[in-house]
C-alpha cells in the first residue's frame, strides 16, 4: 500500500470539541503503524485541534449540532467526495464509523466502481436492521473490501471478510499501577451520560453509603442532570463533575479510582464500548452489567460482571486481594495487544 488513511467523513464539531473516540482511534492507527507505512488522518477542520499538518489529509467540512440534518448529510457527502478524489487504488482507506447508512450511500455515489481498497470500522449491526438499509448495503458492498469489528456477530452480519480486534489497540509504554490504598475514589462512572448507561441507577445505589463515588461526564439532557444533582445533594459520598471533561481530567478520574462502574443497558447489548478499553488500559478494573459491551471484562478476568445492579455488593470487591487479582487479569490482557496489532495489519495486507 502507498498510504494507510483513517477517515472520519462526519468530523463532528461539538462546540469546538470532538466528542466520542474519533480522535483516539485516529491517533491509535498513527501510533501503531506510522513506523511501517505513510499513515494519514482524513478529517474536517475540527481535526486541526489535535493533529499536525503533516499527519492530516484535510477534508473541507465538519458537521455540527447547529446544522440541520440535511446540511450535515450534505457535508458528509462533500467530505466523502473529497476523500475519494484525493486517494488512489494503492491507498488503503479505513472509514471510521459515522452514520453507517450515510457512509454506504457516500461510497455508492462517490467511490469509483473499480475501487476495492475501502475498509469499514463497524461496532454493531444497526445498519442492517431494515429492508431499506439492507438494500443500500447491497449496492455499497461490492466496493467495500472488509470490516474491522469487535466480535463475531458484527463480523458475520455484513458477509464480507472481517477482522475481530478490540476497538483500539494498546500502544503505551507500561504504566505504573497506583497502589490500592493510594486511590482517591472507590468507584467512578465516566464519560457522556445517556439513559442506556444507567448512571442514575448507580447513583441511587450508592446514595447514603460510605463508598466514595465520582460521576464525571456531560448529561444528555437536563432531566438526567437534575436527578443526579438531587441525589448527590443528599449524599456527600457522591461527587459530581457534570459537563464536558477534558482528556486529561477523563483519564485522571479513572486513574484515581479503584474501580470503574459501567451499568450499560439497551443498545450496549448489541455493541462494544471504547470506555471499557480506556479504563483497562489505565490498569483500572471494571464492575459492569453483563452485556455484549462488557463481556471482555469477564473473559479477561479484569473485573466483575453482574446480571442486576441490585445483586452487586461493593464490599465484595473493596479489598486489596480482589483488586490485585483483577490487576493481574488486566496485565495479561494488555500482553495480548501485540497480537491484535499484527492481526489487523495482516488482514489489511492479505486481501
Give whole-number Cα distances, 89 to 39, 93, 116, 220, in Å. 15, 9, 7, 41
Give the integer Cα–Cα distance in Å for 145 and 94. Answer: 10
Q: Which of 45-49, 98-102, 205-209, 331-335 has the lowest mean pLDDT?
A: 98-102
CA distance 212 to 154: 37
Residues 90-126 pLDDT 10s = 899 999 988 889 999 999 999 987 777 999 999 889 8
Contact 204, 235 (CB under 8 A): no
Higher pLDDT, 295 or 351: 295
Reading the block at residue 314, the C-alpha cell is 461493593
On whether the CB atoms of residues 296 and 166 are closer than 8 A, the answer is yes
Give per-residue pLDDT as tens, 235-246.
999 999 999 898
| Helix, coil or strand: residue 193 | strand
pLDDT at 38 over 70: yes
Nearest by Cα to 278 from 148, 175, 163: 175
Which pLDDT does position 61 carry in this prediction? 96
Enumerate the β-bridge partners of residue 264. none
pTM value?
0.80
Burial environment of residue 152 by CB neighbours within 10 A (0 to 12, 13 to 18, 19 or more): exposed
Mean pLDDT for the stretch of residues 159-186: 86
Q: Span 113-141, mean pLDDT?
A: 90
Q: How confident is the model at residue 328, as a pLDDT? A: 95
No. of H helices and E strands in the chain? 12, 15
**Spatial separation of the C-alpha atoms in residues 295 and 44, rounded to whole Å:** 34
268-298 pLDDT, tens digit per residue, is 776 778 899 999 999 999 999 999 889 999 9
Q: What pLDDT digit, counting tens, does each position of 245-259 carry? A: 988 999 999 999 999
- Residue 351 — pLDDT band, cuts 50, 70, 90? low
Amino acid at each position: 500500500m502507498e498510504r494507510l488513511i483513517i477517515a472520519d467523513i462526519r468530523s463532528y464539531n461539538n462546540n469546538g470539541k470532538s466528542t466520542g473516540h474519533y480522535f483516539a482511534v485516529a491517533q491509535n492507527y498513527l501510533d501503531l503503524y506510522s513506523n511501517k507505512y505513510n499513515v494519514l488522518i482524513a478529517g474536517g477542520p475540527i481535526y486541526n485541534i489535535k493533529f499536525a499538518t503533516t499527519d492530516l489529509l484535510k477534508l473541507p467540512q465538519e458537521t455540527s449540532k447547529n446544522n440541520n440534518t440535511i446540511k450535515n448529510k450534505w457535508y458528509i457527502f462533500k467530505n466523502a467526495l473529497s476523500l475519494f478524489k484525493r486517494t488512489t487504488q494503492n491507498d488503503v482507506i479505513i472509514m471510521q464509523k459515522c452514520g453507517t447508512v450515510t457512509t454506504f450511500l457516500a461510497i455508492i455515489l462517490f467511490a469509483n466502481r473499480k475501487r476495492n481498497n475501502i475498509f469499514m470500522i463497524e461496532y454493531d449491526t444497526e445498519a442492517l436492521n431494515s429492508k431499506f438499509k439492507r438494500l443500500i448495503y447491497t449496492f455499497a458492498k461490492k466496493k467495500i473490501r472488509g470490516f474491522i469489528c469487535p466480535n463475531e456477530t458484527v463480523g458475520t452480519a455484513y458477509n464480507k471478510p472481517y477482522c475481530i480486534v478490540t476497538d483500539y489497540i494498546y500502544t503505551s509504554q507500561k504504566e505504573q499501577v497506583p497502589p490500592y490504598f493510594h486511590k482517591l475514589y472507590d468507584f467512578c462512572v465516566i464519560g457522556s451520560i445517556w439513559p442506556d448507561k444507567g448512571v442514575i441507577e448507580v447513583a441511587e445505589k450508592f446514595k447514603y453509603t460510605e463508598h466514595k463515588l465520582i460521576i464525571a461526564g456531560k448529561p444528555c439532557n437536563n432531566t438526567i442532570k437534575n436527578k443526579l444533582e438531587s441525589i448527590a445533594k443528599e449524599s456527600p459520598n457522591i461527587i459530581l463533575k457534570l459537563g464536558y471533561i477534558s482528556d486529561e481530567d477523563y483519564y485522571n478520574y479513572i486513574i484515581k479510582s479503584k474501580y470503574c462502574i459501567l451499568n450499560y443497558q439497551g443498545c450496549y447489548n448489541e455493541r462494544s464500548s471504547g470506555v471499557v478499553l480506556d479504563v483497562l488500559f489505565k490498569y483500572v478494573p471494571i464492575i459492569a452489567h453483563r452485556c455484549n459491551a462488557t463481556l471482555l471484562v469477564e473473559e479477561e478476568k479484569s473485573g466483575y460482571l453482574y446480571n442486576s445492579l441490585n445483586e452487586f455488593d461493593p464490599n465484595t470487591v473493596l479489598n486489596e486481594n480482589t483488586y490485585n487479582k483483577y490487576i493481574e487479569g488486566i496485565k495479561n490482557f494488555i500482553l495480548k495487544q501485540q497480537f491484535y496489532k499484527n492481526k489487523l495489519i495482516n488482514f489489511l495486507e492479505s486481501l
